[in-house]
Amino acid sequence: MAKLPIITLPDPLLRETSKPIEHIDAQVLRLADDMLETMYGAPGIGLAAIQVGVPRRLVVLDCAGEDEAPDPRVLINPEILQLGSQKKVYEEGCLSIPDFRVDIERPAELRLRYLDRNGQLQEHDAGGLFATAIQHELDHLEGKLIIDFLSRLKRDMVVRKFKKLARQDGPL
């Protein structure tokens, strides 16, 4: 496994819509494993393939608490089948927008369909932090970021800040 570089705002790739994965092969499984290592090393609880520069519909998650055993999940071509009616607010961060957090209200429960590592179709109900993380990562697959939940003024301020940081860091 290898730790991959995470692309950050203002990289335009983050705004692309990810394409479905047609075949689950060794390359896809290696990418999933590398993404898990990258996510754990960041550290984070979720990562979409687009965040490591691969515009494919692949997400990894692990919402286990500190006192719980790791629970890595690989979701291939995930889709939300149904959203619950109750809402919950979580303070969300994003590995592609470092050191920035925003309160976002999302449905508290959902029904999810995806392919697992073995290509088996799975359906699961999710709630709480797991449901929030799924929605966050699936937003990435559609080119949507947490800053899109802000007012235009606040969003523009965040984008300007990250563009300025990118210019300061410059090419290596």
Residue 122's pLDDT band, with cuts at 50, 70 and 90, is very high
Residue 63 lies in a domain: yes
Q: Is 92 one of the catalytic residues? A: no
Residue 100 lies in a domain: yes
> At which residue do the structure tokens 């449901």 appear?
131
Residue 5 lies in a domain: no
DSSP calls for 78-102 = EEEEEE-S-EEEEEEEETTEEEEEE
Residue 129 lies in a domain: yes
Q: Provide mean pLDDT across the span 25-51.
A: 97
Does residue 172 have a pLDDT over 60? no
CA distances from 33 to 40, 61, 78, 117, 143 (A): 11, 11, 17, 10, 23
Residue 4 lies in a domain: no
Residue 91 lies in a domain: yes
CATH number, residue 112: 3.90.45.10
Residue 7 lies in a domain: no
Q: Which residue has the higher pLDDT, 171 or 25?
A: 25
The backbone region for 99, taken as left when phi is positive above 0, alpha when psi lies in -120 to 50, beta otherwise, is: left
Residue 31 lies in a domain: yes
**Catalytic residue of the set 16, 22, 109, 137:** 137
> Looking at residue 65, what is its pLDDT?
87
How does pLDDT run across 124-168, given as a tens digit for each residue?
999 999 999 999 999 999 999 999 999 999 999 999 999 998 888
> At which residue do the structure tokens 């994003």 appear?
94
> Looking at residue 170, what is its pLDDT?
61
> Looking at residue 166, what is its pLDDT?
85
> Looking at residue 165, what is its pLDDT?
86
> Looking at residue 171, what is its pLDDT?
56
How does pLDDT run across 62-111, given as a tens digit for each residue?
999 889 999 999 999 999 999 999 999 999 999 999 999 999 999 999 99
Domain with 150, as residue range(s), is 12-169
Could you tell me where the DSSP H helices lie in 9-80? 26-41
Domain count, the chain: 1
